[in-house]
């Protein structure tokens, strides 16, 4: 729906909501609350994750083909139009990085504050320097904007070489971005699975958005929703496998640098959030998606996709906010 076609009361409500959000963000910036900035980062990360995840599914369809992507690619490509706007909304995070990230505290005199003894501290000090951090962030956003632009511009050609290259570039940049923006909230923590976990979560969010869009549009093409449900099931299983593997390995090793990320998540009220994620992000979707009838029903699959989007919001908050506010 075009902005001009929206009813006047809806437009006024959206403008008023936007103004309230801007005021709240400015207040958070002024107050210097790490928790408020972490929440802002989580919401922004969820939004751009949906856009990037949608592009990932478009690139996968360009490479593999199939009827499943013919319907869903249009809303996902249209969603990519907001990526430049989301890039602008990352500017507050760059301006507030000294408040949000512990490694940026005291960098004016070269004193990086680490939460504990970590491996290769000299490399981490050089890598997590404010100037290099800002330059990398701008580079990630610029690369994603360019990829989105060319995906939209050449949507009809469905170039396989471009899609393959785009997936590789995305994999590298989103892994580094996840390390910079999310993992470095606890700078002594490290995980080799984290980048893949982020990519799977974004792919799931993008596909869920596309399924919701199709369900709301009333698409009833036979077999499409079954195929989309199978792909959604794949994302759910991969997310659960990677999340459990990361936890199991870190729990078994029980090293101080690695458990520092999980301690505020399993020894505080965030444990209940993690438990809810196990149900809402894995067990319930798994039970529904194992049913062939559920996958063939647009209303059921659309509702499940919407619930998974909501669960992914909680997942992003669980990855972000406990790192600064247990």
DSSP 105: T
- pLDDT given at position 72: 92
Write b or e for each residue in 272-290: b if 16 or more Cβ atoms lie within 10 A of its Cβ, otherwise e.
ebbeebeebbbebbeebbe
List strand residue ranges (DSSP E) for the chain, in order: none
Which of 181, 199, 206 lies closest to 80 in space, CA to CA? 206
Task: Identify the pLDDT of residue 111.
Answer: 44
What pLDDT is stored for residue 110 in this prediction? 38
Tally the residues of the chain.
326
What gap in Å lies between CA 63 and CA 182, rounded to an integer?
Answer: 30
Instruction: Report the alpha-carbon angle 193-312-52, nearest 5.
Output: 70
Class of residue 189 by CB neighbours under 10 A (exposed 0-12, middle 13-18, buried 19+): buried
pTM for the full predicted model: 0.88
Q: Coil, strand, or helix at residue 101?
A: coil
Residue ranges of the chain with per-residue pLDDT less than 70: 1-12, 14, 17, 25-32, 106-121, 222, 326
Total Cβ atoms within 10 A of residue 50: 25
Domain boundaries, the chain: 33-323
Tell me: domain 33-323, CATH 1.20.120, correct?
Answer: no
d(C-alpha 5, C-alpha 10), whole Å: 10
């Amino acid at each position: 729906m075009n902005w001009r076609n929206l009813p006047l009361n809806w437009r006024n409500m959206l403008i008023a909501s936007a103004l309230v959000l801007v005021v709240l963000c400015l207040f958070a910036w002024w107050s210097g609350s790490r928790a408020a900035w972490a929440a802002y980062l989580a919401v922004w990360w969820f939004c751009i994750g949906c856009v990037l995840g949608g592009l990932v599914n478009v690139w996968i369809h360009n490479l593999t083909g199939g009827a499943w992507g013919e319907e869903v690619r249009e809303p996902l490509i249209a969603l990519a139009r907001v990526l430049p706007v989301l890039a602008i909304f990352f500017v507050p995070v760059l301006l507030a990085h000294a408040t949000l990230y512990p490694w940026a505290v005291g960098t004016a005199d070269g004193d990086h504050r680490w939460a504990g003894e970590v491996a290769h501290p000299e490399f981490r000090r050089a890598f997590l320097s404010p100037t290099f951090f800002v330059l990398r962030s701008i580079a990630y956003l610029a690369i994603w904007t360019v990829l989105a632009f060319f995906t939209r511009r050449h949507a009809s050609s469905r170039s396989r070489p471009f899609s393959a290259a785009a997936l590789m570039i995305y994999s590298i940049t989103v892994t580094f971005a996840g390390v910079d923006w999310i993992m470095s909230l606890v700078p002594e923590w490290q995980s080799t699975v984290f980048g893949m976990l982020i990519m799977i979560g974004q792919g799931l969010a993008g596909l869920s958005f596309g399924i919701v869009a199709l369900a709301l549009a009333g698409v009833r093409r036979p077999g499409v929703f079954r195929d989309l449900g199978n792909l959604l099931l794949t994302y759910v299983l991969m997310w659960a496998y990677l999340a459990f593997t990361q936890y199991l390995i870190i729990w078994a090793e029980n090293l101080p640098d690695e458990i520092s990320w999980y301690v505020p998540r399993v020894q505080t009220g965030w444990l209940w959030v993690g438990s809810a994620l196990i149900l809402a992000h894995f067990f319930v979707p798994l039970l529904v998606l194992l049913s062939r009838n559920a996958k063939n029903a647009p209303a059921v699959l659309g509702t499940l996709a919407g619930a998974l989007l909501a669960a992914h919001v909680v997942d992003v908050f669980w990855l972000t906010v406990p790192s600064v506010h247990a």
